[in-house]
Structure formats: C-alpha cells, structure tokens
Chains A and B, each alone.
Chain A
Amino acid sequence: MTGIDRQALVGASPVHALPKGRLPENVLHFVRILRAAGVPVGPAKVVDAISAAEAVGVANRTDFKAALAAVLCTRREHLDLYDQAFDLYWRNPRLLEKMVAAMLPQVQGRTGEEHRPPDAPARIAQAMAPPREDGPRRDDEDEVTLDAAFTFSPREVLQGRDFASMTADELAQVKRMIARLRLPLPQLPVRRTRADDRGARIDLRATLRRAAGAAGGAAPLAFRTRTRRSPPLVVLCDISGSMDRYSRMMLHFLHAITNDRHRVHVLLFGTRLTNVTRHLKHRDVDIALGRVTGAVEDWAGGTRIGASLADFNRHWSRRLLGQNAVVLLISDGLDAEAGAGLDHEMERLSKSCRRLVWLNPLLRYADFEARPAGIRAMLPWVDDFLPVHSLASLEALAAVLNRSAPGGARRDPGHRRSQARTLAPR
C-alpha cells in the first residue's frame, strides 16, 4: 500500500478519525481475503475501495460495509460471500491484526495451489479410464494423427461404435477426436449492418463522404446489409446414473464447443441443476472436467428431469435464453418421477427458446419406442429428436443443426411431434 499516495486518492475530502495509514492496509488485506474466498477483485479495485472507504468513513458500520460492497462486488452471487467475509474480517479491530497475520500465509498458500493443478487431472484420469499399459501417451497421439490423415479403418470403426461398448483405449482415442469437433449453428440476421455494395439499405454516411470527395460529379450510392451471427447455445445435460457412460463423453464434447465459440452455456442435471459453464471454460480439458466434477454433487445418481427443468425455467431461462437461443437437451428421458410435471416444463422451455433439440442415446436402438412416461411427455415439445451415442451421431448433429431451422410452423405442437418422429431411425 505504501506505493499509493493517500492524499491523491482522497483529495481534499475530510478523512474520518482513524489511525493514519491503517485503513488502506486493512482494506488491502480484506480484498486479498475476498479474492481467496473466490470473489474476483482486480488490483484497480483496491484503490477504488480505499477511496470509497474514506469517502464514507468508518463511523457507521453499515455504510462502510455497503460502500465496500458497491466497489468490490459485481454479481449478486458474490454478495453473500462478501457479507460473511466482511463480518468475519471487520468484527473486532483488535483481532484484526492477528487475523490478518493468521490468514495471510493461508491466502498465499491457496493462490499458490491455483498454479499447481495435477490433482484434478489425476482424479479425472482415474475416474474416466484405468491406467493403460501399452507405452507412453505420445505414441498414440501420433498414431491418431496418422489415422486421420492416411488410413480410415480404425477411425471408421470407432465412428459407428457405441460409447458404452468401447474399451478405455478406444475411449481415449475418441476423446481426442471429440476435442476437434465443432458445432456450427446457422447464423441469424441481427439488427446490425455492415458496408456491402450489394446490400439493401443506402448508407448515407458513406454516400455523402463519396459525394464530398467527388464534388461536381455524380456520387455513387453506398449500401449496407444486415450482419449475421450465431445464436447463443444452451446445453442441458443429464448426468444421472443411466446416462453415466454417455455423459462423460458428452462433457468432452461440451468442453470442445464451449471453448470454440462465444455464448455457450452448459448446465448439468441429475436430481438438481448446476451451471458449469465457468468451469468448462478452462482450456485444458482435464482441469476443466476436474472442476466440473468438483462442482456437481449429484453425479450418476437419480433423475428428476421435471424438477430440474422447472429450476432452469425459473432461475436461468430469462438470463440465458435471450437473443434466439438454441437449446440442446441431452437426456435419455428416463425420469425417476415418471414424468411428473414434465409436460408443463417442456412446454415452457420450448416456448422460451428458438429451437429445442433433444439428444437421446437410447435412440440408437432400432426398435426404440417412446414408451416411458417421461419420454412421451417430452417428445411433443422438441423440434429435433436425435441419437447421440457415437462419434458419427455427434458429427451428424452439426449437420442437422446447420440445416435450415424449422420456420413458423414449429409453434404447432402437432407439427413438432410429426417432425420429431421422422428424425428417429425406424
């Protein structure tokens, strides 16, 4: 804190009675503890927090707390954490020094850990596939590249294979293939324009600029056209026991698409809903999946699809489904609650998004029938119903999504049903 000139920060404002020099120091320590607790606070915020603290003064504890909150918090989710940290930290001024002394090494220890990520990948490696005996990893990476480039047999075999029946070795290969998958969504026109001489709207600004340059002569008109942009993608992935083998592969897929494009949100559900978008953003797939595993509490348990969708509709849909979002629902539709409330929530979900795609690994069975109550309740409300059990089906997904989206007729549930059925293999 010594590097910052307090007078410059505070200006001419009256500083409330406080031992000189202690407030900035304490604010700084408080910010460090907040950071360690998981509230992201940038360095510039420290300076702001000190000016805020000195502007409000420490005479009124509530004001002081609110002042620091206004500067240090940028999300509602952080407010609870902030409140707790504040109450702990600023409880007793005498205790303060001891606490800071006691907490600082901890804080440093924690931040040090951030850069040392071997635990998570190791755990994931154990969870995902048993250790392999056949030589170091580098070898098969080369092998796979060669596969992709010159031969096709192993790759082709893997393409059609069900994830559930693969060996650990095959799974590892498929994971690397999945990492290269992309999911192009059809781009939609947005209300922005770009210069384009074949566009439909006259660009007066550019035209006038040309006219001024070509004074005396005829000025050519300049045009603009609407730009196009991929819509947001929201993925709701079932991670209950019945989906276990698939959901792990799906996570690799989701990691690939989350890091490939903007505006992808991923939520996992079993008995409860967890937003894991932030965790999946990590570039390294092992670290990302490690964080996801840490964040999810209902891994491979039961399924409450209706309750999870209700949770999504209530708490997330308005935040995530704006601007023409496409929803991918990945689930086998086997609901522990026999589809209670499912019809209703599916209807709401379907009406809140632009396109609802249901990916179901059970569809791989040629004689799949929509017998279970959950599946019957969900089917009328989806735009596309597709299998998702193999690499080939994941690749086909991109093609289906890229096909022109269903138009106005999709608002009719009957239409949806017939369309959804035609996409199922029969």
Chain B
Amino acid sequence: MNAPMTPHPPPATVDATLDLLARGDYVADRRLATAVYLSLKLGRPLFLEGEAGTGKTEIAKVLAATLGRRLVRLQCYEGLDTASAVYEWNYPRQMIEIRLAEAQGRVVRDELAHDIFTTRFLMKRPILEALAPHDGVAPVLLIDELDRTDEPFEAFLLEVLAENQVTIPEIGPIRAVEPPIVVVTSNRTREIHDAIKRRCLYHWVDYPDAARELAIVRRKCPKAPESLAREVVAFTQKLRTMDLFKSPGVAETLDWAEALIALDRIALDPATVADTIGVLLKYQDDVGAITPEVAGKLVAEAREGIRL
C-alpha cells in the first residue's frame, strides 16, 4: 500500500487496450476492450452488467494492476450509507477535542463547532478515498454489485459519477483533482435506474465463446493439460445451451478445471462429471438435471465437438 505508485498512461487505441488487458491475464473480447478504451479516454465510468462469474469485477482489478493504480473497492449491500461508503467523522477524536477545549478554558461555542467538523476529523471511506486519495494518485474505484443496495444510495452516487465530487454538509463539496477510473458492476438482481446508466458507458458482459473461454482457461490454469482444458470448455459450453436455472460462469469453468487438476484427472468421464458437478452448478434442480446418461451424452458431444 505504501509503495509509491507510478501510474502508467492509458492506452491510446483499442488494440493497445486489448494488449493491456491481456498483460493482466484478462482475455477480453473486442467489444469490451472498446468500452474500456472509451471509458479511459473520455473519463466516463464504466457500467458492467452481466451474469455472475463472467469477470466483471476482474476488469477493475486488472485495470488497477496494469495501469499502476491502487484499487479502491466498495462492496455494495442493502442499507449501505454514506458513513460506510463515503466518510465518517472521527467521534472519539472530536470528543477529546471538546474535552481539551473545555479543560483549557478556550471555549467559544461557534468556533468549537467549526473546528471539530474539519477535514482533520474526517475518516475517509472508499468513495472519498477515491476522490481525494492520500497519495495523490487517482485510483481505480470499483463499485461492486450496485444492484445489492437500494435506490437512495444510487441517487447519492449520481453526484459522484457525474461530477467526481461529494458534498459534505459541514465542509462543502470535495472535488477530485484527478478523477478516478470508475467501474460499476451489477448482477441485475434488479434494474439500476437509468439516471445512473446514462452517466456511464454501458457494457453487457456475456458468456465468452468457446475460443475465448479456452484462452482464458489456458491463461488462468496453465497447469491444465491442453486436452483437458479443451474438454472442460466444450462441456461447459454445452451446459450453457441447456435449459438451466443458472448457467455456469467463467469463474465456475476455472474452478472446475482447478478441481479436476487437483483430482489428477486428465480427461473427462461421466463418473468424474457426476462427482464434481457441484463445482459448476449451484442449484439442486440443475444438478438433478445432469443425470449419468445426460453427463455421458454431454461428455461424448464435447469430445466430438473438439475433434471437428
């Protein structure tokens, strides 16, 4: 944290953005790279929406790592308020200050009230830290799973996203000298208000196609034998075409590949699939739909698909 950060300049073209993400082991499709490039170039927040496990959060992490900036993360939850998202007053210090003022007999009421509500007594939470970083380098601000909070917090974010500033009643607006790179993600458990989306560049993060998913597995699980990686990807791609309550994401594919390596499997077979399907599918109905016969058929189809 204390190591001095040397921010790198943002990429100058879409191709450079693809390279940049690739350096961070992120295999992006061109559409996503374009959105990222525009977000950096135009200084607009990037709004990423998509199913769970498609690599939305990862983009912010990779951007922070490759651009040489800190990652400031705000995990959203219901009831998230400014005290945990933006700033909080340091109450113990304020109390001591009042006691000290009393003890020294220098009590001028208005002055005291003014003194204890200054930046000295302010504790920065993620958003304020991103707007006014302690090291002066604009970080990457990740507002993760915005759909988990409620509408009042969304409304509050409008000022941050549009103006790069927050307003503290006792102090006034605090504006970022250098705006942070903002990434907002949503799993779409509810619709985010258009007012938020309008201020951002929108990108729907879809499941990757087979070629890209294979590239991702190769990058992230270099220990997986090529044949296994291909089978795993082909199998998962087949699963996504089935009528499931929750299709496996890329994160699940990677977990599964790791699991199979840990079990010393070098090829898929129906028994192994049955034993490890819980890594891919997280709903009992979906697990139940993959009977031994279905698993056998999918494995055969996956192999067939690879050979073609």
Interface residues of A (CB under 8 A from B): 13, 40, 42, 44-45, 48, 51-52, 55-56, 60, 62-63, 66-67, 69-71, 73-76, 79, 190-193, 204-205, 208-209, 211-216, 313-314, 318-320, 322-323, 344, 348
Contacts and interface: CB of A to CB of B under 8 A. Distances in A.
B36 to A, nearest CB: 9
A198 B234 CA distance: 61
A215 B94 contact: no
Interface of B: 14, 30-31, 34-35, 37-39, 41-42, 44, 47, 49, 78-79, 81, 89, 91, 94-95, 98, 101-102, 107, 109, 112-113, 116-117, 147, 150, 152, 188-191, 194, 197-198, 201-204, 245, 285
A66 B109 contact: no
Contact of A209 (B35, B113, B202): B113
A103 B14 CA distance: 32
Given A215-B109, A313-B245, A55 B41 contact: yes
A44 B150 CA distance: 26
A67 B34 contact: yes
A56 B198 contact: no
A206 to B, nearest CB: 11
Contacts of B35: 66-67, 70
B74 to A, nearest CB: 16
Contacts of B41: 13, 55
A322 B37 contact: no
A20 to B, nearest CB: 21
A66 B190 contact: no
Contacts of B190: 319-320, 322-323
A214 B41 CA distance: 51
Nearest to A193: B81
A376 B112 CA distance: 71
B79 A190 contact: yes
Give 8 closest A-B pairs by Cβ, nearest first.
A191-B79, A66-B34, A74-B197, A212-B113, A66-B31, A70-B201, A70-B35, A76-B204
Contact of B42 (A52, A190, A215, A216): A52
A233 B102 CA distance: 54
A295 B194 CA distance: 22
B50 to A, nearest CB: 8
Contact of A319 (B31, B191, B285): B191
A241 B39 CA distance: 51
Given A44-B198, A63-B30, A348-B285, 13 more contacts: A55-B37, A62-B34, A63-B14, A70-B38, A70-B39, A71-B201, A76-B204, A209-B117, A212-B98, A212-B116, A215-B109, A319-B188, A322-B147
B38 A56 contact: yes
A36 to B, nearest CB: 19
22 contacts: A13-B41, A52-B38, A63-B14, A66-B31, A70-B35, A70-B38, A70-B203, A71-B38, A74-B47, A74-B202, A76-B204, A191-B79, A192-B150, A192-B152, A193-B81, A208-B91, A212-B117, A213-B113, A314-B245, A318-B188, A319-B191, A320-B190
A67 B203 CA distance: 10
Contact of A215 (B37, B39, B102): B102
A380 B35 CA distance: 49
A74 B200 CA distance: 9
A13 B94 CA distance: 49
Contacts of A42: 198
A342 to B, nearest CB: 15
A55 B30 contact: no
A348 B91 CA distance: 47
Contacts of B112: 212, 215
Contacts of B89: 204-205, 208
Contacts of A75: 197, 202
B109 A213 contact: yes
A73 B41 CA distance: 19
A323 B37 contact: no
B14 A56 contact: yes
A74 B89 CA distance: 37
A95 B34 CA distance: 27
A70 B34 CA distance: 8
Nearest to B189: A322
A64 B95 CA distance: 57
A184 B295 CA distance: 49
Nearest to B78: A191
Contacts of A205: 89, 91
A209 B78 CA distance: 28
B75 to A, nearest CB: 14
A46 B117 CA distance: 42
A192 B201 contact: no
Contacts of B98: 208, 211-212, 215
A63 B202 CA distance: 15
A74 B198 contact: yes
A4 to B, nearest CB: 16
Nearest to B89: A205
Contact of A51 (B37, B42, B152, B188): B42
Nearest to A205: B89
A76 to B, nearest CB: 4
Contacts of A67: 34-35, 38
A327 B251 CA distance: 32
Contacts of A74: 47, 194, 197-198, 202
A318 B116 contact: no
A327 B188 CA distance: 19
A55 B91 contact: no
A4 B289 CA distance: 58
Contacts of B37: 55-56
